[in-house]
């Protein structure tokens, strides 16, 4: 379901991630989303969590450059920008105005995001 929702998000934006569309794309019955993720926000949170887990794994593969902290900072920044450009739909799903709350399946809350609600 996460992969199907991610594809729909990338192809048509947040409005395309409907219960029926995700279920059809994943080859499941619509109630499966509710059993696994709860509401739409739960699914979008799982999509964002999955995407950023991939991002962090890739970022951790970058060899540190302790001799040149400026280069290390630039490489880190370039990695963040490249990820955002390559995954614009994910970036919008994971910020305020995307998903209304910041809890993934793990129940963790991302501090400072959506706190004004």
**Residue 109 belongs to a domain:** no
pLDDT score of 108: 52
pLDDT at 96 (0 to 100): 52
DSSP 3-state percent helix, strand, coil across the chain (nearest 5)? 65, 0, 35
Angle between helices 40-60 and 2-12 in degrees, nearest 10: 90
Taking the CA atoms of 26, 29, 30 and 33 in sequence, report the sign of the dihedral they define. Answer: negative
Domain membership of residue 87 as a residue range: 2-93
| Per-residue pLDDT, 87 | 86
For residue 37, being part of any structural domain is answered with yes
Report whether 21 contacts 8 (CB < 8 A).
yes
Q: How many domains does the chain have?
A: 1
| Per-residue model confidence (pLDDT) at position 60 | 86
Q: Decide if 45 is inside a domain.
A: yes
State pLDDT tens for residues 26-57.
999 989 988 899 888 889 889 989 988 988 88
Placement of tokens 């995954």 in the chain = 87
In a domain, 111, yes or no: no
Does any domain span residue 98?
A: no
Asked if residue 55 lies in contact with residue 45, where contact means CB atoms within 8 angstroms, the answer is no
Pick out the chain residues at pLDDT < 50.
98-105, 110-117
């Amino acid at each position: 379901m996460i992969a199907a929702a991610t594809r729909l998000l990338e192809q048509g934006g947040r409005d395309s991630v409907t219960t029926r569309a995700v279920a059809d794309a994943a080859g499941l019955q619509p109630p499966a989303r509710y059993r696994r993720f709860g509401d739409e926000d739960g699914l979008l949170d799982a999509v964002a969590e999955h995407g950023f887990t991939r991002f962090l794994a890739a970022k951790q593969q970058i060899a540190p450059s302790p001799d040149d902290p400026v280069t290390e900072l630039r490489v880190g920044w370039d990695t963040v920008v490249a990820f955002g450009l390559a995954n614009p739909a994910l970036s919008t799903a994971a910020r305020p105005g995307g998903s209304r709350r910041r809890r993934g399946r793990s129940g963790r809350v991302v501090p400072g995001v959506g706190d004004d609600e």
